[in-house]
């Protein structure tokens, strides 16, 4: 059997956020949901696909409320979808598309009262992947 120094192994379920910055990402999966207010929500799982943090998963949500629709429109544009007129926004429409995302680190209080950190994509944190190197420039 192997001897393992478990003092160097993180506990299961601990999440280490990636550093703040801009990353090229792909929409890996999209799940439809409804929030407690009855509003439609799309849960996005984005996968960083280039650089040192390739493979990292970033989670975001798109809320379909009047106040949040400008963000949905911006995300669609960043994913190369022209949101003009009436379109049905489905998981299949978004899945597999690429964009550049701004990633921040946000603190939150865990259920045990301790502080946790997670990655978030801010309101205006989506950019077209085909904008060239300007899209990946530090912000």
Q: Which domain holds residue 50?
A: 15-132
What span, in angstroms and rounded, lies between the C-alpha atoms of 137 and 139?
6
Establish if 138 belongs to a structural domain.
no
pLDDT reading at 12 higher than 70: no
Establish if 7 belongs to a structural domain.
no
**Tens digits of per-residue pLDDT, 46-99?**
999 999 999 999 999 999 999 999 999 999 999 999 998 999 999 999 999 999
Establish if 137 belongs to a structural domain.
no
Establish if 8 belongs to a structural domain.
no
From 133, 134, 108, select the one nearest 119 (Cα to Cα).
Answer: 108
Measured CA to CA in angstroms, residue 130 lies from 5, 77, 97, 134, 136 at distances of: 45, 11, 11, 10, 10
Establish if 87 belongs to a structural domain.
yes
Establish if 115 belongs to a structural domain.
yes
Establish if 4 belongs to a structural domain.
no
Question: Domain of 106: which CATH number?
Answer: 2.40.50
Establish if 73 belongs to a structural domain.
yes
């Amino acid at each position: 059997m192997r001897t393992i120094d478990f003092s160097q192994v993180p506990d299961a379920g601990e999440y280490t956020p990636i550093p703040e910055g801009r990353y090229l990402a792909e929409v890996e999966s999209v799940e439809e949901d409804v929030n407690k207010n009855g509003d439609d929500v799309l849960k996005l799982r984005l996968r960083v696909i280039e650089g040192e943090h390739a493979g990292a998963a970033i989670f975001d949500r798109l809320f379909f409320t009047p106040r949040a629709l400008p963000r949905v429109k911006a995300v669609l544009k960043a994913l190369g979808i022209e949101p003009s007129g009436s379109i049905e926004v489905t998981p299949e429409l978004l899945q597999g598309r690429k964009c550049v995302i701004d990633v921040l680190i946000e603190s939150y209080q865990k259920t045990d009262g301790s502080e946790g950190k997670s990655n978030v994509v801010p309101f205006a944190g989506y950019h077209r992947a085909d904008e060239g190197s300007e899209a990946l420039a530090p912000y």
